[in-house]
Copies of this chain bind each other. A is one copy, B any other.
Amino acid sequence: MRKVVITDVPRTDLEVVDALAPYGVATVHEALGRTGYLGTGLRPIQRGARIAGNAVTALCAPGDNLMIHAAVEQCTPGDLLVVTTTSPCTDGMFGELLATSLRSRGVRGLVIEAGVRDVAELNEMGFPVWSAAVSAQGTVKATAGAVNVPVVVGGGIVRPGDVILADDDGVMCVPRADAAAGVRTAEARMEREEATRAALAGGQLGLDRYDLRPLLRDQGVEYLTAAEYAEGRH
């Protein structure tokens, strides 16, 4: 791994970032053709948060949060820090003090594929965090890694300056180049969903709305009453 800190990273326009946030992870993930989701392993420390920010990335050695400190310096308002390790690690690499530091720089939240601690304090601060673990286990500051290089988190790629979107459904990454178009597609999708919601609430079936009956027929699905089925098993 090249030991490097990349500065002056181009970000996604904050207007675009802010426009993406309210659609939420599930909708934007669909709007992007079902891409960008960072897996089921990153869970919110708090409930009910929904945020978006520009990714600043930190790649750390396991059990070592040195590069988080180096990353803090690269953060600007509207950023969201994304941390991962070179091998799986559950240690509490981030806590209240680092959250204080990030907040003072205008950072909106943290996504970390490792552990965090000071959970009660983070909740009190209202600093939103998505992590792979909660652990009080402390870390050292001994081994260098990298800041603002592309990283793999939760099976997806995050590049510095991409938009990170996170809520109760988890975390996703919207590539910088796709963010503006993503807003438009998400909006269109949202409108369609609203119409669908009204139809379903009114009693229309998904089978009819999405025209699925022919598919069931083509696949040879039989409809039998429970009585017919029970008989057929004897």
Smallest beta-carbon distance A36→chain B, Å: 9
Partner of A140, one of B70, B143, B223: B143
A sample of 12 cross-chain residue pairs with beta-carbon separation below 8 angstroms, ordered by A number, consists of: A1-B34, A6-B225, A9-B226, A10-B226, A24-B118, A63-B89, A66-B212, A70-B216, A72-B207, A101-B205, A134-B170, A141-B215
CB distance from A171 to the nearest CB of B (A): 9
Contact B136 A25 (CB under 8 A): yes
CB proximity of A67 to chain B, nearest CB, Å = 9
Expressed in whole angstroms, the Cα–Cα distance for A205 and B107 within the complex equals: 14
Does A219 lie within 8 Å of B143, measured CB to CB? yes
Most buried by B among A98, A169, A212: A169
Answer yes or no: A183 CB below 8 A from chain B CBs: no
A69 to B22, CA, bound (A): 27
Let me know if A138 and B221 touch, CB within 8 A. no
Q: Which residue of B1, B7, B10, B92 contacts A223 across the interface (Cβ within 8 Å)?
A: B7
- The answer, yes or no, to whether A97 is at the interface (CB within 8 Å) is yes
Known: A37-B137, A87-B91, A210-B69. A148 touches B215 (CB 8 A): no
Q: Is A142 an interface residue (CB 8 A)?
A: yes
- Chain B residues lying within 8 Å of A40, measured Cβ to Cβ, are 90, 115, 133-135, 137
* Residue of B with least CB distance to A170: B136
